[in-house]
Chain A
Amino acid sequence: MNGNCGAAAMFAAALCFSLHGAAGEEVPRNAQTCVACHGPGGNSTDPAMPSLAGQPAQFISLQLFMFREGNRKDPQMSPIASSLSNADMNELAAYFSRQKPAAASHETTSENAAAGRRLAEQHHCVQCHGPALLGLQHIPRLAGQQFAYLRAQLRGFKARTRADFDGNMTSAAELLSEKDVEILADYLSGLTPRRD
């Protein structure tokens, strides 16, 4: 465990007891700041805060880049990204992509399990995010992601307050009703976040 907690005084208290890496793995210095919000090993326990563990590395570095360049904005996340170099971002992305996602804490209601799957197929979510919604390349894992976070992002894409890189997601979310968003978030959040 790396004991350097001085980097971000604001989060110092949280940092000093939340540094978990995969066994024997060195935690990049910058990652110590992240776990204060994103949870130990990048597994969030806050429904509004996204997990990073096991996300594709390219997705993580793309999001960090978009926060730094101002395309994506968030009062908590933007200032964090503003001081990261490309090399920092790549290192953080590699680190969090290697962390094992924790089992989903959310339980999907039984009616939304079927309805959610239908929507995910009907709206081609599975074509891009993968059949098990585990993500690839610059496309995120949705399976097992925090419920409130997923719902907020889908609303954001629909309202065009969350920018995306290539227009894909804005266009995909456009056809969803508020009810679809609710069902999809409930469905996705309860899925197993890994392939084992």
Chain B
Amino acid sequence: MSPAPFRSVISLACALVCVLTAAAAQAQTPAAPAAPPSWQQGRNAEQEKSPLHPFAIEVTGKSAKELPVDKLKVPEGFKVEVWADGLPGARSMALGSKGTVFVGTRQLKDVYAVVDRGGKREVKTLLKGLESPNGVAFSRGTLYVAEHHRITRYDGIESRLDNPPEAKVVVEGLDPQNQPGHFWKFLALGPDGKLYYNVGAPGNIVMPAYFQASISRVDPRTGIIENYAQGVRNSVGFDWHPQTKQLWFTNHGRDWLGDESPNDTLHVATRKGQNFGYPYCHQGDTLDPEFGKNRSCSEFTPPALKLGAHIAPIGMRFYTGKMFPAEYQNNIFIAMRGSWNRSIKQGYNVTRVIFDAEGKPKMEPFLTGFLVDEKADPPMWGRPNDVMVMHDGSLLVSDDQNGIIYRVSYGTK
């Protein structure tokens, strides 16, 4: 084992699981000597020579002063500005009832709290030394944090920002094998008072264990877990429709099937227990070349909207604020953090999803300007990660590449 890596690089458990699953699926190819990083898994021999690679974040953050933030664009009447910087790795956001913005990280070990003091933002490192604390949620005075392996609670947090209480465990043992894969978690509180979180797939394209490639929920009062949705490769953003109260979520499709395939997707779960296709069927209509043999896409619930191949949709929220024009009510904003797994890059924006009279969703770019050159390496200078509606109706956008939060407002405010 490596001494103290950001994540245990190649645990024996994974070497076993990945090799076994790969072998089961592809008995004709010899088993690899060790599990490759999960982003490389599923490449064919020719793709091993591909120069495509995920982009690493700036772990020390970047000051907004060094970045072309003046290149950011929003529609007429809107304004975008830097709200706070100095939050390396800033990802999921949650809003406290007194206005504190809580921010989780994935490749760091910190959770931040940002407080507005008379128009100036103060950034505090609230919690340290956590395991990939990507998920944050707030309810009735309590901050919930989802790490790799557990969900914890910090009661009365907003009055204790300088001396946070000890973590109380809601549930643990969520990552029993401590293997590489999509195991950082998004966390949100459902209308039923339960905490919803994802457990992604252990690799790019592998057979998941029963608790993986799913969205689950846990009752914070009892610690009882239920599997809510299956066949979800990796969803790191979800929200409930303000009227129907149905769960909507974004999902990342598999890599290494080409520039245009498959799409990343937006889904709605109309009830508990639906299966959305992974690893058999992608984007509702495309069978996986390996796992899809002898299966049919009609077994699975199709997506509500195809978002673009490899575009990496992360955070998504319904707009319920009072600030934006009326036609934005109940629209969805999605933060697109990719793409890397295509030769011509796309995305790196915040996208608006609008519903037409029949309730059919369509999308258009809302906040753009991060993508500079779709053929360059890197193609972008920043990556939207999560979106969150503030009490005043403005929209915050986190950028984990640089550790910056932007604010989009409308009108003169």
Residues of A in contact with B (beta carbons under 8 Å apart): 58, 61-62, 64-65, 69-71, 73, 86-87, 89-90, 93, 124, 127-128, 136-138, 160-168, 170-171, 174-175
Contact status B33-A175, CB under 8 Å? yes
Contact flag A163-B5 (CB < 8 Å), given A171-B37, A174-B34: yes
Contact status A160-B1, CB under 8 Å? yes
Q: Does B59 contact A (CB under 8 A)?
A: yes
Contact status A167-B9, CB under 8 Å? yes
Give the one of A64, A86, A90 with max B CB within 10 A: A86
Q: Does B50 contact A (CB under 8 A)?
A: yes
Contact flag A168-B37 (CB < 8 Å), given A127-B49, A128-B53: yes
Counting from the closest, the 10 A-B pairs by CB-CB distance are: A138-B56, A86-B60, A167-B9, A163-B5, A167-B37, A163-B2, A160-B2, A61-B60, A65-B59, A170-B9
Q: How far is the CA of A73 from the CA of B2 in the complex (A)?
A: 11
Q: How far is the CA of A134 from the CA of B53 in the complex (A)?
A: 16
Q: How far is the CA of A137 from the CA of B58 in the complex (A)?
A: 9
Within 8 A of A (CB), among B16-38: 33-37
Which residue of the partner chain B has the closest CB to A62? B59
Q: How far is the CA of A136 from the CA of B379 in the complex (A)?
A: 13
Contact status B48-A124, CB under 8 Å? yes
Q: Which of B4, B55, B60, B109 contacts A89 (CB 8 A)?
A: B60
Contact status A90-B2, CB under 8 Å? no
Which residue of the partner chain A has the closest CB to B9? A167
Q: How far is the CA of A62 from the CA of B58 in the complex (A)?
A: 7
Q: Does B119 contact A (CB under 8 A)?
A: no
- Band of interface residues on B: 35 or more
Which residue of the partner chain A has the closest CB to B5? A163
Contact status A62-B56, CB under 8 Å? yes
Chain A nearest CB, measured from B88 CB (Å): 6
Q: How far is the CA of A65 from the CA of B55 in the complex (A)?
A: 17
Chain A nearest CB, measured from B200 CB (Å): 16
Give the one of B37, B51, B59, B62 with max A CB within 10 A: B59
Q: How far is the CA of A62 from the CA of B108 in the complex (A)?
A: 12
Chain B nearest CB, measured from A102 CB (Å): 26
Which residue of the partner chain B has the closest CB to A89? B60
Q: List 30 A-B contacts (CB under 8 A).
A: A58-B56, A61-B60, A62-B59, A62-B60, A64-B60, A65-B59, A65-B60, A69-B109, A86-B60, A86-B88, A87-B63, A89-B60, A90-B61, A127-B50, A128-B53, A137-B56, A137-B377, A160-B2, A160-B9, A161-B2, A163-B3, A163-B6, A164-B5, A166-B37, A167-B9, A167-B10, A168-B37, A170-B10, A171-B40, A174-B34
Contacts of B194 in A (CB 8 A): none
Chain A nearest CB, measured from B395 CB (Å): 27
Chain B nearest CB, measured from A174 CB (Å): 6
Contact status B6-A165, CB under 8 Å? yes
Contact status A161-B3, CB under 8 Å? yes
Chain B nearest CB, measured from A126 CB (Å): 9
Q: Does B378 contact A (CB under 8 A)?
A: yes
Contacts of B60 in A (CB 8 A): 61-62, 64-65, 86, 89-90, 93
Contacts of B55 in A (CB 8 A): 137
Q: Does B7 contact A (CB under 8 A)?
A: yes
